[in-house]
Amino acid sequence: MPRTVSEVAEIVANALSAVDAAPLADVLAEDAVYEIPFTGHRSAGRDAVLATLGAGSAVAARIGLGKVEVTTTETADGFAVELVAEGRNPHTGHSYRLPSSAGLLTVRDGEITRYRDYPNNGAATALHGTKEVFQRFLDAAVDNRWDDLADLYSDDVVIEIPFAPAGVPKVTRDREELRKRFHEAGQRRRITKADRVVVHETSDPEVLVAEYDLHGEYEGKAYVSTYAMVLTVRDGRIVHSRDYSGPPVFAESA
């Protein structure tokens, strides 16, 4: 006899509470689908869904997750889940309790055929450490994802560029102004890679000092720029940065 919806919901609640996807193998249909509408992510098939949900264990360790409260509510074709996460941010030592996800699960013949997950991405961002935010900064820069790069900064970020050339403000205090400048610069240049990256942690977990080179093309000409950055991250976003760089060095023409 197939499991009832309440029995399936109990298995799911226990698995999510334990941050252990393995028990879900018994209640996922072979052709189950897992979706995150916020991002467009879609995993199809039991094994793919288990792999996606199983990755949550690594995330839990990274954010210092200690407990997950799960509430289930039966619906006409399955049930809804609401999750509240508790833990201690390993980067700051601060305790947190926050709503982490809501989901809708469709159950047919005792098996889950569809799981639509709505995670609290803003809360997840707030738990990112300084080094992780810096790596996301480099990744977005090298991929020329200017909106993603701008979104790493807080609304009231303060950016200082002590060696700013003529025409570039030495201080910027607005994320949207920064976003505009990223897009304008992106029309003339393309970043291709970062190297010689050295990250120096400091006695303040919110602050790091980084050295790195960015390689790219400016109006078709290859160049490299060398940077030193003093970065302050709070609640997963860059709130202050002092950026030092010299003029770009262009490759000699053949």
Q: Which two tokens stand for residue 23?
A: 């028990």
Name the phi and psi angles at 140, rounded to 5: -65, -40
Split into its structural domains, the chain has a count of 2
Same domain for 90 and 27 = yes
Same domain for 146 and 221 = yes
Same domain for 137 and 102 = no
Buried/exposed 40-77: b ≥16 CB within 10 Å, e otherwise: eeebeebeebbebbeebeeebeebbbeebebebeeeee
Same domain for 116 and 132 = no
Tens-digit pLDDT profile for residues 81-101 = 999 999 987 766 778 888 999
CA dihedral 179, 184, 190, 196 (to 10 degrees): -50
Same domain for 118 and 132 = no
Same domain for 167 and 150 = yes
CA separation, residue 196 to residues 3, 21, 31, 227 (Å): 56, 39, 46, 10
Print the domain residue range for 171: 128-250
Same domain for 90 and 35 = yes
Q: What pLDDT was estimated at residue 254?
A: 43
Same domain for 186 and 163 = yes
Same domain for 222 and 140 = yes
Q: What pLDDT was estimated at residue 93?
A: 72
Which of 105, 125, 145 terminates a domain? The answer is 125
Tokens 């979706």 identify what position?
Answer: 35
d(CA 241, CA 254): 38
Nearest C-alpha neighbor of 159 from the set 171, 150, 174 = 171
Name the phi and psi angles at 235, rounded to 5: 55, 40
The domain that contains 81 carries what CATH number? 3.10.450.50
Same domain for 48 and 26 = yes
Per-residue confidence band for 126, with pLDDT thresholds at 50, 70 and 90: low
Which of 99, 125, 151 terminates a domain? The answer is 125
3-state SS assignment for residue 133: helix
Tens-digit pLDDT profile for residues 27-78 = 999 999 999 998 899 999 999 999 999 987 777 877 788 899 999 999 999 9
d(CA 51, CA 12): 15
CA separation, residue 126 to residues 26, 115, 119, 129, 235 (Å): 34, 25, 13, 8, 4
> Taking the CA atoms of the chain, what radius of gyration do you get in angstroms?
23
d(CA 222, CA 146): 20
Same domain for 211 and 134 = yes
CA separation, residue 176 to residues 173, 180, 212, 242, 249 (Å): 9, 6, 25, 18, 29
What's the whole-number mean pLDDT along residues 102-118? 97
Same domain for 132 and 117 = no
Tokens 């009231």 identify what position?
Answer: 156
Which of 73, 94, 125 terminates a domain? The answer is 125
Q: Is this model's pTM higher than 0.75 or not?
A: no
